[in-house]
Structure 1
Amino acid sequence: MTFGSPPDRTLAVIGCGPGIGVHVAATFATHGFNRIILLSRDIKRLEDDKATILEAAGDSKVQVALVKVDLADEASLEQALKQLEELGPVECIFFNAARVGPSKLLDFPAAKISKDFATTNTALYSVAQWGVPRLLELSRSDPSSKPSLLVTNGLLHTYPMPDLFSLCMVKSAQRSLVECLAKTYNPQGVHVGLVTVGGQVMEDAKQLNPANIAQKTWELFDQARGAWKWETQILEQ
């Protein structure tokens, strides 16, 4: 798929799914982003996400493109980034990829730890290598834009859970990477930020529901230049 002209505001959701990812995409679509790119391994699920976004956008002229990618596979990610390039300038990259599942200490294979790290950290680093220079160029060429790289994370660096030790490891490392990127590139005109989700996401939660998390993500993105925060925390209590 190629987008029609004229180009306007584009969001890329890397690691889209029926929870946070699709809600963030729908929220941006209702706030003036008319081009949405969804990336995931599961194209069939992305078709459902696309329908959800278009329904939320209503009569606004929103276009949604779907890109299949396995973030743990370097060649697959490289091909996906080429497709992003073809789809045109991206104003906001939302990275929401992780394997959320159990990992029993000493039983969990080391190879799977490496795969978890590749999905959550190596892929994010590759996305940053591709995306940050382009966001810097957008920042210089269009002062009205808000070039951003936003990443979901949690509190596992503070409250590690032994039954999820692999997720704890990779999310702790990811937080460090995002903070390093923020310290380096926020002063240069790219808003690198962390969306810290402090617990299990549930539809009936007061704060930790996907719609509220998406709204907080939008508010982090929509901060004025010069007033950027590098992190927003969403807690149930």
Structure 2
Amino acid sequence: MPLAVALRLPRAAPWRLAVVALAVIIFQAMLGMWTVTLLLKPIVVMGHLLGGLTTFALLAYAALRLSRVGADGEEFARLRRFVALGVVLLAGQIALGGWTSANYAALACGYGGSAFPHCLGQWWPATDFRQGFVLWREIGVNYEGGVLDLPARTAIQLAHRLGALVVFCYLGWLAHRAARAGLRGYGVALGAALLAQVALGIGNVTLGLPLPVATAHNAVAALLLFALLALLARTQRRLDPA
């Protein structure tokens, strides 16, 4: 389907995005197979999540560009650079979230009131970042339930929290800047999605990772990504009609 769309797009349209999306979809299918055959290997599980969101991002961005969303000139050129950095930071945070989930580290700091903002009742408990971020582990091990010890899982959880703090501060500032630049609707949408995502992340920990909250956390991550992509498309020069 992405290739069919690509062949029908005018030359000025972002047809390359559709071609890249096709490649990602093919690789995504392979990751789905490897998720089973490699027994939930964390790097594969995380890659499968990122592949799905990458496909969504590519198709959403192509649709936004084709809908003629954009500026008449380069009046938002400076803001666009900040938005692009925001996309990179959010992608990194989503990857950390995928790594947290794939290694069953979401509740490494415990759950309930003592699990946030503290972790295991402390501000900085014992951690093992070296083991927590070994990307490739042996083949043939069943990774269901996770194989890391508590300090390694705690390191992953704390990294995800620190990443969330950085992204929250940056995207909050970006939403404010977008609103001041005359893109109030985009800024409000970005800020609302950001606040919802942080609330859901805290809810995951304090409520013990209930399925509806965990699912909503993933869904709002995609929504937050879409809000950023919409802002990015709005700050670019509008595509000329074919």
Task: Give the TM bin, normalised by the shorter chain.
Answer: 0.3 to 0.5
- Bigger Cα Rg: 2
Q: TM-score, normalised by structure 2?
A: 0.32
Higher strand share: 1
Higher helix share: 2
Q: TM-score, normalised by structure 1?
A: 0.33
